[in-house]
Amino acid sequence: MVSKKQMFAAVALIAIAMTTIAYAQIIMGTIAINTEGVVSSVPDFTLYIPKGGAVEKDIGNIELTFSENLRVGAPTYRVRVELAVDNYEIYEGLRALVVKVMQGSTVKAILTLNSPYDEFTLYVPAGVGAYPFSLPVDVIAAAGAKEVSGTIRLRVTILGVE
């Protein structure tokens, strides 16, 4: 059974926590970025590699557009890219997998079998209208003792501003 002292202490702690959260939101503001409003295209690819074979190809571009109404003060956004597969056997059949996300000649993210996600930042200049990014994605993969077949997708999430 809960005593009146314990109940009073719990209510007091909840009140303090709520006050602290409200104060932090007033001082720092609340950031909410709708990924669907920014991400317009994310490539996926069907991978087929014969036993012992390898493939290297450009699979398309991640297309992002930061419009004026989606910007939240700070011009640098943190972006997360993740691998997603239809069938886990793809991972079992691969000996190597490297997915590179590029911006010009700069590698922004590298995804591998052992590191299936990565994060990077994008700088959006102030005072411009909609600001697009087109980030080419390259894949290098090698099969092991059996053939590999399946679809690999990328997930893109805007984590926030820096």
Say if residue 41 is in the same domain as residue 20: no
Position 58 scores a pLDDT of 93
Looking at per-residue pLDDT, the higher value among 120 and 152 belongs to: 120
Say if residue 105 is in the same domain as residue 155: yes
pLDDT reading at 30 higher than 50: no
149 to 23, 57, 87, 114, 141: CA distances (angstroms): 53, 15, 9, 19, 12
pLDDT reading at 11 higher than 70: no
Backbone angles phi and psi of 51, in degrees to 5: -50, 125
pLDDT reading at 149 higher than 50: yes
Structure token digits, residue 23? 């104060």
Pairwise CA distance, residues 131 & 66, whole Å: 5
Say if residue 128 is in the same domain as residue 50: yes
Q: What is the mean pLDDT of the chain?
A: 81
Say if residue 11 is in the same domain as residue 87: no
Q: Residues in the chain, how many?
A: 162
pLDDT reading at 138 higher than 90: yes
Say if residue 7 is in the same domain as residue 80: no
Position 66 scores a pLDDT of 79
pLDDT reading at 28 higher than 60: no
pLDDT reading at 136 higher than 70: yes
Say if residue 25 is in the same domain as residue 44: no
Say if residue 16 is in the same domain as residue 63: no
Domain count across the chain: 2
Say if residue 24 is in the same domain as residue 100: no
Domain span at residue 13?
1-30
**For 40-91, what is each residue's pLDDT tens digit?**
888 888 889 999 999 999 999 999 887 766 555 667 888 999 998 877 888 8
CATH assignment at residue 140: 2.60.120
Say if residue 102 is in the same domain as residue 115: yes
Nearest to 161 by CA among 1, 28, 43, 46: 28
Say if residue 144 is in the same domain as residue 66: yes
Position 125 scores a pLDDT of 78
Say if residue 129 is in the same domain as residue 60: yes
Say if residue 47 is in the same domain as residue 85: yes
